[in-house]
Amino acid sequence: MTRSSAAVRLVPLSEAHLEGLADLTDDPAVQRFTRIPVPPPAGFATTWLVTFEQARLDGTRECFAILDSLDSSFLGAAVAPRIDRQAATAELGYVVLPAARGRGVAVDALRQLATWAFAELGMLRLELLISVVNEPSKRVAERSGFTREGILRSYYLKPGLREDTEIWSRLPGDAEPKWEREK
């Protein structure tokens, strides 16, 4: 069964999403594979929101809430933590609540985020940085049309964590991804 990107929608992160964002930042997998500090300081969800709201104004970062398109429940976040307009390159990322995993939510969100970065920002290269041990995230990248380029050895992610990290990319001329939902 082919799944369309209509399952989720992306909206700019706002105060309405703080509770879901706090739940997301408390998830051990999100802490392990993202730049979120461990443990997250008190009020980190608000800090995250304020940081992205300020960066939205200068065009250097963006964060969208991933919402279920049927009931608008918060499912996660789709981010562009680095937007380099001069180089026309953006780093993208995605985090999904545990209850939403395995349903294609991250793939749908990443495909929409990539479409936004190409169409709205005019990016010519999109990048993902994924831990070599994060198999679910690598499957999301592949199903979203990204190509694995190689490994950045001993990449600095956050204090206390250096690890081998795969770099994946997608260019505007790459074929649109087609994927089958796992049974």
Provide mean pLDDT across the span 51-71.
94
What does the alpha-carbon distance between residue 129 and residue 126 come to, in Å, rounded to a whole number? Answer: 10
Q: How confident is the model at residue 161 (pLDDT cuts 50, 70, 90)?
A: confident
151: helix, strand or coil? strand
Provide mean pLDDT across the span 113-142.
97
Provide mean pLDDT across the span 48-58.
92
Q: Is the pLDDT assigned to residue 157 strictly greater than 90?
A: no
Task: Please tell me the predicted confidence (pLDDT) of residue 10.
Answer: 97
Arithmetic mean of pLDDT over the chain: 91
Nearest to 13 by CA among 126, 106, 94: 94
Provide mean pLDDT across the span 34-52.
91
Nearest to 15 by CA among 74, 57, 61, 90: 74
Assigned CATH topology for domain 5-124 = Aminopeptidase (3.40.630)
Q: Is the pLDDT assigned to residue 138 strictly greater than 70?
A: yes
Query: How far is residue 46 from each of residues 66, 85, 95, 96, 98, measured CA to CA in Å?
Result: 17, 26, 17, 18, 21
Element (DSSP H or E) covering residue 107? helix 105-119
Q: Is the pLDDT assigned to residue 59 strictly greater than 90?
A: yes
Task: Please tell me the predicted confidence (pLDDT) of residue 183.
Answer: 32
Interior CA angle at 112 toward 70 and 95, to 5°?
80
**Contact (Cβ atoms closer than 8 angstroms) between residue 48 and residue 20:** no
Structure tokens at 19: 């509770």
- What residue type is 116 in one-letter code? W
Q: pTM of the entire structure?
A: 0.90
User: Among the listed ranges 1-15, 63-77, 92-106, which one has the minimum average pLDDT value?
Assistant: 1-15
